[in-house]
Amino acid sequence: PKLLDAIIQASKIDKKLLAVLIDPEKFSAEKYAYFIENLTESVTHIFVGGSTATAKESEVCVGFIKAKTNLPVILFPGDKEQVTEKADGILLLSLLSGRNPEYLIEQHIKAVPKLLNSRLEIIPTGYLLLDGGNQSAVARVSKTKPMRQSEITLIKNTALAGQMMGKQLIYLEAGSGALIPVSEEIITEVKKYLNIPLIVGGGIKNSKQLEKAYKAGADLVVIGTAFENGEFEG
């Protein structure tokens, strides 16, 4: 598993990773050609996904990105419809913070026919939605409640349960456009117990917040909105 191995190796030597998240629903070739060709050097991955993007939108978006960059393109799908062979890999997300079977196992079962004969690298990922101070699309679409950021022990134990169940990555998510990113305290506490790489995203808008997340223990940070709006200076 090349993609996962590279993430593990980077985390071992403390080389921090940065993914730009592109939502296929907001994608247009005119807007994104320049954007993709001018990413800062610190960007190591492109994630593609959104809460409500369609199959066609996802395929067009990934195809376009693959033609423009050699960075690994990893699906971060909000729905099985977004699975496209054109990407390099997929975070197969289990929404461990929620109790909706649709996002714990059902979507995955429905995705199998597409995944079975694809060359996508499948990366089992425990996905925890935390409260980012506003209503997130993930909460709305998945019909699940985010975990309160004050519930640090529960968050840590949920992440660890994911690891014990065989997840290869843990993703702490405050939701796209979160007002409050995942706290440093949570990142540090989860990272302390985890021996798989930790991804953090949601509401990170500038290099100061990015550095804080890294320092606290995030191995890979995901930034969507701030890149989209041209606010992130790298």
- When asked if residue 130 is in the footprint of ligand 1GP (CB under 6 A), the reply is no
- When asked if residue 177 is in the footprint of ligand 1GP (CB under 6 A), the reply is yes
Count the neighbouring beta carbons within 10 Å of the beta carbon of residue 18: 22
Which residue of 203, 213, 219, 220 would you call a contact of ligand 1GP, by CB under 6 A? 203
What Rg value do the Cα atoms of the chain yield, rounded? 16
Among residues 111 and 178, whose Cβ is nearest to ligand 1GP?
Answer: 178
Among residues 170 and 223, whose Cβ is nearest to ligand 1GP?
Answer: 223
State how far the Cα of 143 lies from the Cα of 79, in Å rounded to an integer: 13
- When asked if residue 168 is in the footprint of ligand 1GP (CB under 6 A), the reply is no
Rounded least distance, CB 232 to ligand 1GP, Å: 9
Q: Kindly identify the residues of this chain, within the stretch 62-121, that bind ligand 1GP according to CB under 6 A.
A: none
Rounded least distance, CB 71 to ligand 1GP, Å: 17
Which residue of 20, 95, 204, 218 would you call a contact of ligand 1GP, by CB under 6 A? 204
Among residues 120 and 172, whose Cβ is nearest to ligand 1GP?
Answer: 172
Rounded least distance, CB 228 to ligand 1GP, Å: 7
Rounded least distance, CB 181 to ligand 1GP, Å: 8
State how far the Cα of 137 lies from the Cα of 23, in Å rounded to an integer: 12
Which residue of 72, 77, 201, 217 would you call a contact of ligand 1GP, by CB under 6 A? 201
Closest CA to 127 of 186, 81, 76: 76
Return the exposure string of 150-163: e unless at least 16 CB atoms fall within 10 Å of the residue's CB, then b: eebeebbebbbebb
- Beta carbons of 124 and 111 less than 8 angstroms apart: no
Amino acid sitting at position 193 = Y
Residues paired with 89 in a beta bridge = 74, 121
Task: Write the DSSP assignment of 160-213 as a string of letters.
Answer: HHHHHTT-SEEEEE--TT-SSPPPHHHHHHHHHH--S-EEEESS--SHHHHHHH
Q: Which range, of 27-35, 96-104, 172-180, 187-195, touches ligand 1GP by CB under 6 A? A: 172-180
Contact positions vs ligand 1GP (CB under 6 A): 21, 173, 176-178, 201-204, 222-226
